[in-house]
Amino acid sequence: MTRFLLLFLLVACTAKADDGYRLWLKYDLIKDAAKREEYARSAQFIAVTGNDPILTSAANELQTGLQGLLGKTIPVVANAGTRTGGIVLTVAGAPQADGQKGAKEGYSITKKTANITIASQSGAGVLYGAFALLRQLQTGQSLNGLSLVSSPKIQHRLLNHWDNTNATIERGYAGESLWKWYELPATVDPRYRDYARANASLGINGTVVNNVNASARFLTAEYLEKVAALATVFRPYGIRIYLSVYFPAPKVIGGLKTADPLDPDVKKWWADKTREIYKLIPDFGGYLVKANSEGEPGPQDYGRNHADGANMLAEALAPYDGIVMWRAFVYKADANADRFKAAYEEFTPLDGKFDKKVIVQVKNGPIDFQPREPFSPLFGNMPKTPLSVEFQITQEYTGFATHWVYEAPIFKECLESDTYVKGKGSTVAKVVDGSLQGYKLTAIAGVANTGSNRNWTGNPMAQANWYAYGRLAWDHTLSAEDIAAEWIKMTLTNEPKAVKTITGIMLRSREIYVDYNTPLGLSRPWAGVHFAPEPWQEKSARPDWTAIYYHRADSIGLGFDRTATGSNALAQYSPEVQQKWNNVETCPLPYLLWFHHVPWTKKLSTGRTLWDELCTRFYTGADSVSWMQQQWAQVKPAIDPEIFADVTGRLVTQQKEAIWWRDAWVLYLQTYSRQPIPAPFKKPERTLDEVKNLVHIYQLR
């Protein structure tokens, strides 16, 4: 008897543990019996007509979700007939929200009759609607008088994977690649389907499966068959597959003597290769290209420009429904230049010269995914060329997998920034969704943070960044707070006090990180792997890969002068934006050192000098990680023990590393400021040499 009791307890404990694999698609039994009964009355069956594989996916997901949430099996029927009290899936003329270009993927969910109807003009839209209905149930929303209408504001909503053929991931912190290239196409991991489900639940409709620093091998017949196998898994979830391409591929694998985009043989090679791809993958999405950037070859190697290269690929795609995404992340190794200005200088002269199938993909800021950056001046300044925004979900510059940083505020800060190119209200979001300048092609991209770790993202809290990106890609008007609360309820707990507490941590987490990492507009103080603090770094293969290039600390002050007296990068913005940032007296503190070299003794709007304000930020930022720990400890009763322990451990590491960052900055900058550390803050217990040695030890790993 005792043995059976122990076995029961073991099974019960195992069932309780949550390893994070299910992400936000956790269909656990709803604890509130009354609410469960309310939902059950409206979900007695699922009716679906037609054999569209995407409709089948929608019905299957609803059936799985409802069975878990309600604790009962819900039948799927071919036709509702005279039945009532069920969910009807239909491809029909669903209402279009605001006449948006993505209306075909939009959906309506209504309960005006005895049934709930999920309708769309496409199977994909019905699938998105099915996930939206499940989200209503997971977050405890009422179904009475249900009437939801939603359409994506952006057409192409993509994840960009920086995955390589050897299973590594550039800037990946959650294990190895999801894609087991050595097994494909013969063996297809069931995890690929769950990846597709998770993306479809957010409305993500495209994925670039390989690194922008691309290997030409992905264009060989061997690898195209592997990619085609993934496309087969993704297709029933409305997800198209794209490839990053290596620009000199015609030379590397094609045997040509050149990759000149104007060479007839090169054009023919790309046309033939594109035809080969579409025979294997009829719904192939197109190409992503990193060219003439950080050593990657491109059209400039042949005296051509970015438009020449992009248009050559667009010509190859002309017979098909595919696009070219050409990255604007470019900068040359010039000690006298300002990397901030590089993309604008190379791309604005080409406005209007790109093919209609080309969209220029622009990082949210002008440097490189920093914890806080001004928006890229390209936005709004290429009215004849569609621009997409590229965000980084993986935490390359926000603490890897140990620091808890909720990134929705980063995404929102960029999207809500006003370019003023057509007057007040000309936000980056309106540029990207095409509504400001009439783009017919729109896209948004997020550099994925997924990996082979069982919980997908390494840090369980990093799942929220994937989730937030997807929700904002669908609707950029959603708030960071609402998205956080939604994710918590679907992933961690529905207990109201715990939801409020965790939401509070998430909303403060980015500012806490910035305070101990790069306050007041500091940027790029990294060691080579973009993790350890090394603000003293002065030697690298190129000047703009050093830390001193960006902060420009000296005996007078700190910061990069980008006004007319410096690099004049501010001139790339509209007059209204220049006015906001040009005056050191009125420049918002988050952007101060981005645009000004400020004296150490300069009194700021806080009433403190620059030096004292920096110290205050470094110290309070590091101390605030202790606050995060205290807040997290309070939600322990409401959180799965395995996830609670995982996050608790990471917060311990984050606190140690925050102090490391604080000490590195304070001790290094003090050698220039010659100022005492202000009260009540205590001098670091270690010396600058000891901190530098920590970085050296870290780099030996």
Q: 457-481, pLDDT tens digit by residue?
A: 999 999 999 999 999 999 999 999 9
CA dist 523 → 160, 336, 372, 563, 595 (Å): 24, 18, 8, 17, 11
Three-state secondary structure of 284-302: CCEEEECCCECCECCHHHH
- Asked if the structure places residue 330 within a domain, the reply is yes
- Asked if the structure places residue 487 within a domain, the reply is no
Whether 378 and 343 have beta carbons less than 8 Å apart is answered as yes
Q: How many CB atoms lie within 10 A of CB 679?
A: 7
* Both tokens assigned to 551: 């902060």
- Asked if the structure places residue 90 within a domain, the reply is yes
Assess whether 188 and 132 both reside in one domain. Answer: no
Show the DSSP H helices in 492-640 as ranges.
Answer: 496-517, 548-551, 575-582, 592-595, 610-634
Where does the pLDDT of residue 266 fall: very low under 50, low under 70, confident under 90, or very high at 90 and above? very high
d(CA 375, CA 339): 14
d(CA 107, CA 126): 6
- Asked if the structure places residue 91 within a domain, the reply is yes
Assess whether 276 and 354 both reside in one domain. Answer: yes
The whole-number pLDDT of residue 102 equals: 61
- Asked if the structure places residue 497 within a domain, the reply is no
Kindly report the CATH number assigned to the domain that includes residue 653.
3.90.1330.10
Q: Is the pLDDT score of 7 beyond 50?
A: no
Where does the pLDDT of residue 348 fall: very low under 50, low under 70, confident under 90, or very high at 90 and above? very high
The whole-number pLDDT of residue 697 equals: 76
Bridging pattern class, strands 116-120 and 107-110 = antiparallel
Summarize pLDDT for 487-522 with one digit per residue, the tens: 999 999 999 999 999 999 999 999 999 999 999 999
The whole-number pLDDT of residue 359 equals: 98
d(CA 106, CA 122): 8
The whole-number pLDDT of residue 175 equals: 97
Where does the pLDDT of residue 330 fall: very low under 50, low under 70, confident under 90, or very high at 90 and above? very high
- Looking at 464, 481, 498, which one is the last position of a domain? 481
Assess whether 61 and 101 both reside in one domain. Answer: yes
Q: Is the pLDDT score of 217 beyond 70?
A: yes
Query: Of residues 194 and 103, which shows the higher confidence score?
Result: 194
Query: Of residues 49 and 239, which shows the higher confidence score?
Result: 239
d(CA 6, CA 4): 5
Kindly report the CATH number assigned to the domain that includes residue 67.
3.30.379.10
Contacts of 484 (CB under 8 A, 6+ apart): 406, 408, 464, 468, 502, 503, 506, 507
Summarize pLDDT for 363-396 with one digit per residue, the tens: 999 999 999 999 999 999 999 999 999 999 999 9
The whole-number pLDDT of residue 16 equals: 57
Summarize pLDDT for 393-430 with one digit per residue, the tens: 999 999 999 999 999 999 999 999 999 999 999 999 99
Summarize pLDDT for 95-105 with one digit per residue, the tens: 454 444 567 99
- Which residues constitute the domain of residue 121? 20-149
Assess whether 531 and 474 both reside in one domain. Answer: no
* Both tokens assigned to 672: 């220039």
Assess whether 193 and 295 both reside in one domain. Answer: yes
Assess whether 404 and 342 both reside in one domain. Answer: yes
d(CA 440, CA 158): 17
Please state the φ and ψ torsions of residue 547, each to the nearest 5 degrees: -80, -35
d(CA 464, CA 476): 16
Please state the φ and ψ torsions of residue 698, each to the nearest 5 degrees: -60, -40
* Both tokens assigned to 354: 């790109």
**Helix axis angle, 641-673 relative to 610-634, nearest 10°?**
170
Omega before 409 within 30 of 0, i.e. cis: no
Summarize pLDDT for 350-362 with one digit per residue, the tens: 999 999 999 999 9
Assess whether 369 and 416 both reside in one domain. Answer: yes
d(CA 171, CA 393): 10
Mean pLDDT value across residues 282-295: 97
In single-letter form, the type of residue at position 438 comes to: G
Average pLDDT, the chain: 94
- pLDDT over 90 percentage in the chain: 90
Whether 343 and 376 have beta carbons less than 8 Å apart is answered as yes
Q: Is the pLDDT score of 6 beyond 50?
A: no
Three-state secondary structure of 254-277: CCCCCCCCCCHHHHHHHHHHHHHH
Whether 190 and 230 have beta carbons less than 8 Å apart is answered as no
End-to-end CA distance of the chain, in Å? 52
Summarize pLDDT for 658-676 with one digit per residue, the tens: 999 999 999 999 999 999 9
Strand partners, 109: 118, 148
- Which among 270, 396, 378, 374 is positioned nearest to 330, based on CA atoms? 378
- Asked if the structure places residue 86 within a domain, the reply is yes
What distance separates the 2 farthest-apart alpha carbons in the chain?
84
Assess whether 328 and 474 both reside in one domain. Answer: yes
Contacts of 378 (CB under 8 A, 6+ apart): 328, 343, 344, 347, 348, 360, 362, 387
- Asked if the structure places residue 6 within a domain, the reply is no
Please state the φ and ψ torsions of residue 288, each to the nearest 5 degrees: -115, 135
Q: What is the DSSP letter of 96?
A: P
Query: What's the structural domain count of the chain?
Result: 3
Rg (CA), the chain: 26
Three-state secondary structure of 345-393: HHHHHHCCCCCCCEEEEEECCCCCCCCCCCCCCCCCCCCCCCEEEEEEC
Kindly report the CATH number assigned to the domain that includes residue 246.
3.20.20.80
Assess whether 523 and 439 both reside in one domain. Answer: no
d(CA 254, CA 252): 6
d(CA 130, CA 59): 8
- Asked if the structure places residue 495 within a domain, the reply is no
Catalytic residues: 294, 368, 396
d(CA 123, CA 60): 13
Assess whether 351 and 451 both reside in one domain. Answer: yes
pTM of full prediction above 0.85: yes
- Looking at 432, 456, 481, which one is the last position of a domain? 481
- Looking at 149, 164, 192, which one is the last position of a domain? 149
In single-letter form, the type of residue at position 130 comes to: A
Assess whether 71 and 108 both reside in one domain. Answer: yes
In the block, which residue shows the tokens 């990255």?
327
Q: Angle CA(267)–CA(273)–CA(275) in degrees, nearest 5?
A: 105
Assess whether 112 and 174 both reside in one domain. Answer: no
Q: Kindly state the helix (H) or strand (E) to which residue 47 belongs, with its residue range.
A: strand 46-48
In single-letter form, the type of residue at position 278 comes to: Y
- For 444, the 3-state DSSP assignment is strand
- pLDDT over 70 percentage in the chain: 96
